[in-house]
Amino acid sequence: MTRQISRRTILGAGGGTALAGSARTAGATTGDHRGGDDDPTGRSLAELQRLLARGRLSSRDLTRAYLRRIERIDAGGPRLASVIEVNPDAERIARELDRERRRGHVRGPLHGIPVLVKDNIDTDDAMLTTAGSLALVDSRPGADATVVARMREAGMVLLGKTNLSEWANFRGDQSSGGWSARGGQTKNPYVLPRNPSGSSSGSAAAVSAFLAPVTLGTETDGSIVSPAQACGVVGIKPTVGLTSRAGVVPISRTQDTVGPLGRTVADAAAVLGVLAGPDPRDEATADSEGRTHEDYTRFLRPDGLAGARIGVPRQLGVDSPEATAVFEESLAALRAAGAVLVDPVDIPSYEEFSTSSAEFEVLLWEFKAGIADYLATRTAGSPRTLADLIELNLERAEEELRWFGQETFELAQAKTGLDDPEYARTLATSRRISRTEGLDAVLDEHDLDALVAPTGGPAWVTDLVNGDNFLGGTSSYAAMAGYPLVTVPSGAVFGLPLGLTFMGRAWSEPTLLRLAGGFEAQTRARSAPRYRSSVTGDGRHR
């Protein structure tokens, strides 16, 4: 069945109950946040590492500080609803890691560092993994996701799970970014009635609000970079195959990827090295052999833009004059930092890309097959097929289907298997549009290091009845191609953050991080959230 689908539906968000709590300002928890030794939650990863190494801070005290802040900011105060569940074993894990450190065993630079993980990433512990859906609350994963196992091995403390757009925004039309039946509606920490975007809504909002130093999200098309922009943080969407998807609730075998979010490029890059590398549980990662790095922070330097050739594909805009104005300011900052801009560059396949439904059709095929494979890994009591999920949603319609339906589930259920020749033809079309006649073509033609585009428009008002008023995004080419993106704060309009996206070839994370880090050093555009109840009258400002 062919269906034209708007990019908003794939990119935008997630689900819909009423906003939790009032939209009041959060008193003592507002404003720029930089904790002292007695409240370290505002510090960067590098600062936390130094404090831990010098014995001035313990992992247990750090973990406790974040748990207190989650209680104050997420459950109380502005009630962000970004954390769907805290780990009851977090303090115990932190104490054990402190004992290891005292005995001289330090696992690496992230030893003792807390992290929050999106609730579609399996954890084999006391917490649930549900993708925000009530359909999965009665079963559990059989093992940690590979990325979770690697973080544990690196000595990171699993602090809890973050809320998300239910089923990573692949259930139905008129969804609201950051809503799930299990977690309710996540708020935007900058202006509470505004949407955090999705689907990694809670991961972006939580790290922005200093509820963890770093978080994990997942992306199929825009689900890391869009909420990262809306919540004023850095998001890394890796090349498909750089990080394992084993133990992650799937949408697409050819587009899904797991990546970190942080308040700085360095913080996010530090986590990427822990996640990256081949995994026998995920055949797509075989291509990453010899292409990963244990330390991605080594590619960062303040003059990272000097001499870089960066293309400006004006075709990839957003429907927001404010965002466009900030983008022009960002281009000026790139030039000032020594980048050579090739402006404009044209992507050969753009006309076909703009009208093609190939991406969405591929996702429907792959979701039906992938979700059955994933559900088979869960314990007894789990639904086993997409048809089971559809039926369970109907049985709990008052809770699950109150705000929007499951049209996407139903379209996927109508698909045949991945052995259908039409699937192979459609995937080939998507790859041709996005790769050989898309990003590869324009990057090669102009000998470019990367492309830049506005990440999206300003955050919209959350509307559970009508769904998201999404003004567009620029992630779809890289999503279809399986190529990397890095978004970094670029400015703000009326108190709402905006971001600049760097996109490039497969496995070009070192280059993109160098460029994004250079832009960050040039602009210092991020400001801390203030949990306002309405937009400001400040207009455009960096």
Quickly state the pLDDT bin for 36 (edges 50, 70, 90): low
Burial call 199-234: b when 16+ CB within 10 Å, e when fewer: bbbbbbbbbbbbbbbbbbbbbbbbbbbbbbbbbbbb
Question: Catalytic pick from 118, 187, 368, 415?
Answer: 118
Give me the pLDDT at residue 22, please: 27
Over range 200-205, report the average pLDDT: 98
Predicted TM-score of the model (pTM) = 0.94
Under 8 Å CB-to-CB from 371, ≥6 apart: which residues?
249, 250, 385, 386, 389
Residue 410 CB neighbour total at 10 angstroms: 15
Domain for residue 36, yes or no? no
List Cα–Cα distances, 507 to 14, 58, 242, 482, in angstroms. 29, 36, 8, 10
Give percent of the chain above pLDDT 90: 91
Is residue 114 reached through a cis peptide bond, with omega within 30 degrees of 0 on the bond before it?
no
Give me the pLDDT at residue 6, please: 38
Domain for residue 94, yes or no? no
Q: Is 118 among the catalytic positions?
A: yes
Q: Would you say 201 and 14 are in contact if contact means Cβ atoms under 8 Å apart?
A: yes
Q: Is 223 among the catalytic positions?
A: yes
The Cα–Cα gap between 161 and 153 comes to 18
Give me the pLDDT at residue 1, please: 30
Q: DSSP string covering 342-386, please?
A: E-----TTHHHHHH--HHHHHHHHHHHHHHHHHHTTBPTT---SH
Half-sphere exposure of 11 (CA within 13 A, CB side): 27
Domain for residue 99, yes or no? no
Q: What digits encode the pLDDT tens for the residues 37-47?
A: 688 999 999 99
Domain for residue 211, yes or no? yes
Q: Look at residues 254, 295, 256, 290 and name the one whose alpha carbon lies nearest to residue 272.
A: 295
Domain for residue 22, yes or no? no
Q: Is 199 among the catalytic positions?
A: yes
Reading the block at residue 130, the tokens are 């549900």
Quickly state the pLDDT bin for 537 (edges 50, 70, 90): confident
Q: What digits encode the pLDDT tens for the residues 168-178?
A: 999 999 999 99
Domain for residue 411, yes or no? yes
Under 8 Å CB-to-CB from 355, ≥6 apart: which residues?
4
- Percent of residues in the chain assigned helix, strand, coil, to nearest 5: 40, 15, 45
Question: How many domains does the chain fold into?
Answer: 1
Give me the pLDDT at residue 37, please: 60
Domain for residue 75, yes or no? no
Give first-to-last CA distance, the chain, whole Å: 46
Range of the structural domain that residue 529 is part of: 7-13+111-541
**What phi, psi does 473 have (nearest 5°)?**
-150, 175
Give me the pLDDT at residue 38, please: 80
The Cα–Cα gap between 157 and 97 comes to 9
Q: Would you say 282 and 246 are in contact if contact means Cβ atoms under 8 Å apart?
A: yes
Question: Catalytic pick from 59, 176, 197, 199?
Answer: 199
Q: What digits encode the pLDDT tens for the residues 130-158?
A: 999 999 999 999 999 999 999 999 999 99
Q: What digits encode the pLDDT tens for the residues 325-340?
A: 999 999 999 999 999 9
List Cα–Cα distances, 483 to 273, 282, 315, 489, in angstroms. 17, 17, 18, 20
The residue ranges of DSSP E strands in 445-518, in sequence order, are: 450-454, 485-493, 496-503
Q: What is the CATH number of the domain that holds 135?
A: 3.90.1300.10
The Cα–Cα gap between 156 and 267 comes to 14
Domain for residue 119, yes or no? yes
The Cα–Cα gap between 426 and 403 comes to 32
Q: Exposed, middle or buried: residue 414 (CB in 10 Å: 0-12, 13-18, 19+)?
A: exposed
Does the pLDDT of residue 307 top 70, yes or no?
A: yes
Question: Catalytic pick from 176, 200, 223, 288?
Answer: 223
Give percent of the chain above pLDDT 70: 92
